[in-house]
Amino acid sequence: MKNRKGFTLVESMVVMIIMALVMSAIYMMIMYYRDVAGTEQARVRQTQESRYLLSVFSSELKNAGAVMTLVNTGGFLAVPPNFNGIHPLNNDDFADGVIVASGDPNAVSKLVSEADMTSPTSLIVNNTVADPAWAPGDKGILIGPDGYFVFVVTAVGGNSLDVRGESVYHSGLLDTTNYKDLSTAGNTLTYPVNSPVMRLGDFSIYLVQERDDAAKGRKVRDLVRVSDCFGKAAVLTDPDVNIIKGAIAENVWDLQLTYTAYPGFPDVSAREDYYTYGGSSDLDALLNALRVKTLKEMTVHVVALTDDYPGRGQVTHQLPQLADRGPEALPAGKYNYRTFSFLVQPRNYNVKM
């Protein structure tokens, strides 16, 4: 028994130090691979969101104005209609916003008696024949010379469409953080006989919302798609559950749009570039180019952020100029960023009225 020995204090301390070093190394390795995985997941999300912008968003822009931009649409009113499927949104030196819509060619009609949209109940049209037929829940649009009204059908009669009291959207409604629609309020107008009424295939409002992210320690911006405002103006902050919206890209920091028109199309020697806010020309001139359908193409500029979780410290990046937005600094943070641009040619424009 006297010859049996245990660990000395020194030996125990050495073992404990070695174990601590091993556990520390394992912990650091776990944290490193966790950060690497987080970075890769962020890059995958950025790639997926970029694909969304290149596919769904660009597809909506390409299809915008279907039916609404046909030559006979203006023929209904004998003047250019207020809305032809693309409406840039005024902003205060922020990411651009845009409203896009396309109609259903199988459900196009016109008013046979004027409609007062201050208290909407029903629209009397020349026919409700369609394939498929109009049905409750369908979205439609009423377009006049000074404004427009997007509605939801609640009931269908022989020559009438009953509509929900709250608009899906109407011209001049939007007044939310960084965005305001300066158009005439479409819910205060009386729409004349022959105003186009058509079912919508798509209707979307694209806005960028800025918020604080505690986990990332900086401000982030989401690209938000709104498909039903339910008559509310502040759609980004209003808590009404009837507003249908959702963030479709969480890594988009900036979205800038350039609108290019060729007034003498198909002669392309004269070119005019327009922007939503500021730049070389004003918003009224851009809206006029859209109404008379001289728009040829749109360039979409996107700034996307990718969080780099291992990080290189709080680095401040400088963005180059995009469209009418001058160079600016991004918030300091542990991330990388990339810019990309793509060109969209709306297939339903380019025909001057």
Token digits of residue 233: 């103006």
User: pLDDT digits over 270-286, tens only?
Assistant: 888 888 765 445 778 88
Is residue 28, in this structure, part of any structural domain at all?
no
Is a pLDDT exceeding 60 seen at residue 177?
Answer: yes
CA 313 → CA 123, 184, 334, 336, distances in Å?
Answer: 60, 49, 6, 12
Q: Count of domains in the chain?
A: 1
CA atoms within 13 A on the CB side of 96: 26
The residue range of the domain holding 178 is 43-344
The answer to whether 151 and 141 are in contact (CB under 8 A) is: yes
Average pLDDT, the chain: 83
Q: Are 74 and 353 in contact (CB under 8 A)?
A: yes
294 within some domain: yes
Q: For residue range 208-254, list pLDDT tens digits in order.
A: 999 888 877 778 888 999 999 999 999 999 999 999 999 888 778 88
32 within a domain of the structure (yes/no): no
pLDDT tens digits, 93-144:
889 999 999 999 888 888 999 999 988 788 999 887 777 889 999 999 999 9
DSSP, collapsed to helix, strand or coil, labels residue 270 as coil
Q: Is the pLDDT of residue 353 over 60?
A: no
> Is residue 138 in a domain?
yes
Residue 151 has pLDDT above 80, yes or no: yes
Q: Is residue 24 part of a domain?
A: no
259, 289 in Cβ contact below 8 A? yes
Give CA separation, 90 vs 148, 225, 244, 294, in Å: 17, 17, 21, 20
Mean pLDDT of the region 149-164 = 93
Q: Is residue 203 part of a domain?
A: yes
The residue ranking higher by pLDDT, 61 or 277, is 61
Residue 111 domain-assigned (yes or no): yes
d(CA 199, CA 179): 27
Residues forming a β-bridge with 87? 99
What pLDDT, on a 0 to 100 scale, did the predictor assign at position 314? 64
Mean pLDDT over 180-203 rounds to 92
What share of the chain in percent tops pLDDT 70? 84
Residue 10 covered by a domain: no
d(CA 37, CA 45): 12
- pTM score: 0.84
pLDDT number for residue 338: 79
- Supply the pLDDT for residue 325: 81
List of E strands, 26-67: none
